[in-house]
Amino acid sequence: MALTGEYVPSPSEWVRNQVAEYEASDGQRANTLPDHPEWPIVVITSVGVKSGALRKNPVMRVEHDGVYAAVASKGGHPEHPEWYHNFLAHPEVELQDGAEKHTYRARVAEGEERAQWWERAVAVYAPYAEYQANTDREIPVFILERV
């Protein structure tokens, strides 16, 4: 089921630009972290917890057997990214990986499952380990399973 609502672009210019280029090219361009071709991204659309508007964010591509993880790191800041709250309130999200776009259900991983996904995430994007070391909060890992 496709998400419905008005899309409100991010207030962050780099996020707006990356999402627009990624979607316009079916994920053929702007598909890595800016200036880092070794770090692939996907675009996740969620429903804003306060606004009800559609929000789109590029996140690191962490995938295993068709299941994805979204790491709510916010670069190791003390607070969660805004999309963390969107996922909790509205766990149905859309994920675009290249030209493929599907609906997923997001849930927070815990215990051994979180540890396994955290290891996968750090293998894809090593700075996650530094981000965790720089914050007192345990960085949440969402598991996204196709609906």
Spell out the domain ranges in the chain: 13-146
- Nearest Cα to 71, choosing from 145, 146, 142? 142
**pLDDT string in tens for the chain (147-residue length):** 689 999 999 999 999 999 999 999 999 999 999 989 999 999 999 999 999 999 999 999 999 999 999 999 999 999 999 999 999 999 999 999 999 999 999 999 999 999 999 999 999 999 999 999 999 999 999 999 999
- Of all residues in the chain, what percent are helix, strand and coil, respectively (each to 5)? 30, 35, 35
User: What Å distances lie between residue 63 and 16, 17, 94, 143, CA to CA?
Assistant: 23, 24, 15, 10
pLDDT value for 106? 98
Supply the pTM of this predicted model: 0.96
pLDDT value for 16? 97
What is the fold, at CATH topology level, of the domain defined by 13-146?
Pnp Oxidase; Chain A (2.30.110)
